[in-house]
Amino acid sequence: MSKTMNKEAIEKATQILMNIKPRSLFEYRKWKRILGSDLKKIALLRALSPQTKVVNLRSLEYSSDVDDLTADISDEKVEHILRKHNIRFPRQKVKVVKAVRSVDWMKMICSLEELCGGGLTKEREARARIMHEVFGMGWKTTSDFLKDIGFSRQLAVLDSRNLNFLKSVGLTYESLKASMLSNPHVYYELENIENEVADQLGITVSDLDERIMTYTGTSKELPHVI
């Protein structure tokens, strides 16, 4: 669980992040201007992200293979593409690819439009509905998808990198493991903390996440192309 939020730790976080220029910029309501095919690609890339290095995800994102994954290709071809780009657990993630590509993402997002940017409670509802409908979309991956299509402004994208950052500034316990992020109570509590830090900086949590990703990343990590 998290520590009680304190001004000193929040100030430390804001001092670190205030001058960070993110590699990828958050664009609110981006989903309004892009094609349904691109929504599917973004969902696919985010659903494949668990346990996989960002540099390998970008390798897939920058290639034509991501287009092939959204087509009706065989399981064997899907697995070959995932192995080619060093996506972790490729055999298991074939099922994830099939689940994501079976969804009409534009229709789904339009059905949730009234929740778009409507505050943390409504954004959490949108996340929960997607997680319920789509196999392989968890807390982090769904939050990442909704952030990257510009649907949400307050959902946190919590993985080991965000967790380690929060630990480094004293906003959560050193003993907290990344495996505990699957616990909704833990996820919500850390999400509340990121909202406090974002408020202090005067930005959205989606902007905050991009700054954390840049701060904790390496020079090899490219910005999103989709």
What is the token pair recorded at 158?
């919590």
Average confidence (pLDDT) over 75-95: 98
Region 175-200: what's the mean pLDDT?
96
Residue-level pLDDT at 220: 76
Mean pLDDT of the chain: 95
- What's residue 6's pLDDT? 82
Q: Nearest Cα to 123, choosing from 155, 85, 92, 90?
A: 155
pLDDT of 5 higher than 90: no
Domain ranges of the chain: 30-118+133-148
The CATH class given to the 30-118+133-148 domain equals mainly alpha
**What does the pLDDT look like over 13-35, one tens digit per residue?**
999 999 999 989 999 999 999 99
What percent of the chain shows pLDDT beyond 90? 92
**pLDDT band at residue 169 using 50, 70 and 90 as cut-offs:** very high
Q: What's residue 208's pLDDT?
A: 97
3 state DSSP class of 27: coil
Query: pLDDT (tens digit, 9 = 90+) per residue, 102-141?
Result: 999 999 999 999 999 999 999 999 999 999 999 999 999 9
Q: Residue 124: what pLDDT?
A: 98
Q: Is the separation of the CB atoms in 93 and 87 below 8 Å?
A: yes
In 3D, which of 99, 98, 100, 24 has the Cα closest to residue 58? 24
Alpha helices, H only, the chain: 7-17, 36-47, 54-61, 65-69, 75-84, 90-101, 105-111, 120-133, 139-148, 160-168, 184-201, 205-216
Q: Is the pLDDT of residue 4 over 60?
A: no
Question: Sign of the C-alpha dihedral, residues 12, 18, 22, 27?
Answer: positive
The answer to whether residue 2 scores a pLDDT higher than 70 is no
Average pLDDT over residues 146-168: 97
Half-sphere exposure of 162 (CA within 13 A, CB side): 21
Q: Is the pLDDT of residue 82 over 90?
A: yes
Tell me the average pLDDT across 141-150: 97
- pLDDT of residue 221 exceeding 90: no
Residues 70-88 have a mean pLDDT of 97
pLDDT at 218: 83
